[in-house]
Structure 1
Amino acid sequence: MSELEKQYRVKAGARLKLADYDPADKSQTANDKAARNAQVAALAPQLDALQDLLYAEGKRKVLVVLQGMDTSGKDGTIRKVFQNVDPLGVRVQAFKAPTETELAHDYLWRIHQVVPRNGELVIFNRSHYEDVLVTRVKGWIDQAETERRIGHINDFERLLSETGTTIIKFFLHISKDEQRKRLQERIDNADKNWKFNPGDLEDRKLWDAFQAQYESVIAATSSVAAPWYIIPADSKSSRNQLILEILINRLSALGMQYPQVDTRDWPKTVE
């Protein structure tokens, strides 16, 4: 495991305090925004090559989970980190409020239908973790049900891992002040008005409750097979560089290989 991963990875079974993680930390990236963007541009082809290898090999699956408070940058991460990746083998799955059909099943039913298949990299924009975060903070489920669901999620991710899925989970960690700035920008900037949801202001009032619940849930679900990484996200360019480097490290470690093809009977030239 690289030093970069060690710094931001949550150890299995460890207690977690988000206050111990600086949302503005740039210790593993350049202090200059232009340099960070240049590094992302330089690294992006490596992720593209690894995704091509994943798709060609067709034996493994990769699930990337993005979670965070409102405005933490889930959409921006997808746009920037995966901008060079061939869309043929990548799929983004966003999760909103469950539909009537989804509510008629267990809460993991809609999740299991969209996990990656062989050779595919899937990015969850929000995820099954909403069912132990917002549901608990808003009081829709009690603590006993929350603990049952955390058990379900650990078992579900163990099932995915043991059947060939590499799971990489990122919590995009922003400060309350940075969220205020980004929400204000959505109000002030006409091009971003469509992103503003008045309900985000109600959730902002529950900031401390959400932070505490994230701490509890991440600590209970960061495992060897499905680790969480706390990514400082006040700086968008630093966030992108860190996630990109971690993804490259994790995918490189899989030891993927292109399929071996018997070419002995092939013609030497094409007429």
Structure 2
Amino acid sequence: MKSIDPKDFKVVDKVKLKKLPTLLNVDADDDEKEEKLDKVQAKLSNLQDIMYAHNKYSVLICLQGMDTSGKDSLIREVFKEFNPRGVVVHSFKTPNSTELEHDYLWRHYIALPEKGKFAIFNRTHYENVLVTRVHPEFILAENLPDINSVDDITPKFWEKRIDQINNFEKHIAQNGTIVMKFFLHLSKDEQKSRLLRRLEEGKHNWKFSPGDLREREHWDEYQEYYEEAINQTSKEHAPWYIVPADDKDMARYIVAKIIWEEMKQYTDIQVPALDKEILDNFDTYKKTLENS
């Protein structure tokens, strides 16, 4: 298999999604991809244990992508070796009544990971500049000052939201949260195949929603707004990675490998040394236990 370099997927300059591949040829069969993923899974699990003991960093993994891009299965496969206490998954759907009584970032703030833990946002705070741009009428439910109709939602409004998201990510990064954002780049043809499979295979019927077809009609709009958001918010402290997603197995491995390679840069994440007094009394503790 060809080696995976995070730099090949990291957004450091302006990108055009139409020019980026949705499928990567790596000269590997499914068994080899699975074997590679298994090895990275074990490394990440061990790292999380060390990170928990170190207790100074947390990690936020943000996953975005069109319907059927494979977010759910990626979470299941990439993080399945983690201690369940060390990783929390949040799936952000339509805001509920309580969430709408706060600003749009509130529900994301309260879901941020504790020190020593990973959090995965399955759909993220970026929905507030994606879905709401395609359907600006959703903004009216937020009951914002000066927004009384869709006509009040100007380009300046979206610029302000992008600034707020950048400030949010900068704030949490400066306080010890390592942020990595992944866009699962799916082709329209592959989405069509996956939606048809949901209809044709009984075990997948439950995944199908007519809403998926309605949102598919807005494909070009979503691509435009994804591209704009990614280009405006990929920062060194909170980078975007665009991952070809037509091959689910390969996408899972790429995401896992990127997380591992980026986390390796934090060489200060080490198991903390025991207090000298405890070390000096190891023999005493051992004898006490043996005689108890």
TM-score between both structures, scaled by the size of structure 2: 0.88
Residue equivalent to 1:260: 273
Corresponding position of 2:114? 117
Aligned partner of residue 267 in structure 1, secondary structure: helix
| Whole-angstrom CA distance in 1 between matches of 2:224 and 2:28 | 30
Residue 211 of structure 1 corresponds to: 223
Which residue pairs with 2:141 in the alignment?
none
Q: Deviations over 1:49-77 (max 9, x none)?
A: 11111111111110000000000011011
Q: Are 2:155 and 1:143 equivalent residues in the alignment?
A: yes
The answer to whether the 8 A contact 1:66-1:123 is kept is yes
Structure 1 position 74 matched with structure 2 position 75 = no
1:184 paired residue number: 196
Stretches of structure 2 lacking an aligned partner (at least 5 in a row): 138-152
SS at match of 1:66: strand
Structure 1: where are the runs of 5+ without partners? none
Aligned residue identity for 1:84: E
Amino acid aligned to 1:112: Y
- The alignment status of 1:5 with 2:9, answered yes or no, reads no
- Spell out, residue by residue over 1:224-244, the C-alpha distance to the aligned partner (whole angstroms, 9 max, x if none): 100000000100111011111
Q: Which whole-Å CA distance do the structure 2 matches of 1:30 and 1:107 have between them?
A: 44
Aligned with 2:127 (options 130, 133, 146): 130
Counterpart Cα distance in 1 of 2:76 and 2:154: 36
After TM superposition, list the pairs within 5 Å mapping 1:16-95 onto structure 2: 16-26=15-25, 29-95=26-92
Question: In the comparison of the two structures, how many residue pairs are matched?
Answer: 266
The 5 A counterparts of 1:223-242 are 223-242=235-254
**Does the 8 Å contact 2:4/2:254 carry over to 1?**
no
List structure 1 runs of 4+ shifted beyond 4 angstroms.
none
Partner AA of 2:111 in structure 1 = V
The corresponding residue for 2:144 is none
Change (3 A) 1:84 1:206: same
**Distance in 2, Cα, partners of 1:142 & 1:134:** 16
Partner of 1:169: 181
How far is the alpha carbon of 1:138 from its aligned partner?
Answer: 1.7
| Residues 45 and 81, structure 2, Cα contact 8 Å, conserved in 1 | yes
Does the 8 Å CA contact 2:64/2:184 hold for their aligned counterparts? yes
- Indicate the percent of aligned positions where both proteins have the same amino acid: 43
State the alpha-carbon separation in 2 of the partners of residues 120 and 39 from structure 1.
Answer: 24
How far apart, CA to CA, are the structure 2 residues paired with 1:146 and 1:33?
42
SS in 2 for 1:169: strand
2:105 to 108, 111, 115: 108
Q: Residues of 1 paired with 2:96 and 2:39: CA distance?
A: 41
Q: After superposition, give the CA deviation of every residue in 1:181-232 in whole Å (9 maximum; x if it has no partner).
A: 1111111111111111110101101101100110000000000100000000
Q: Is the 8 A contact 1:65 1:125 kept in 2?
A: yes
Residue 3 of structure 1, CA deviation = 7.0
Q: Give me the whole-angstrom Cα distance separating, in 1, the residues matched to 2:211 and 2:120.
A: 25
Structure 1: how far apart are the matches of 2:182 and 2:159? 21
What is the root-mean-square deviation of aligned Cα atoms in Å? 1.4
Distance in 2 separating the partners of 1:31 and 1:233:
16
Q: Is the 8 A contact 1:93 1:125 kept in 2?
A: yes
Native 8 Å contact 1:30 1:36 kept in 2: no
CA-to-partner distance for each residue in 1:123-167, whole Å, 9 max, x for gaps? 000010000001001233542211110000000000000001100
Tell me, yes or no, if the aligned pair for 1:136 and 1:142 is still in contact at 8 Å: no
Q: CA deviation at 1:31?
A: 2.8
Shift, 1:102, TM fit = 0.9
CA distance in 1, matches of 2:24, 2:82: 27
Greater C-alpha Rg? 2
Conservation of the 8 A alpha-carbon contact between 1:136 and 1:143: no
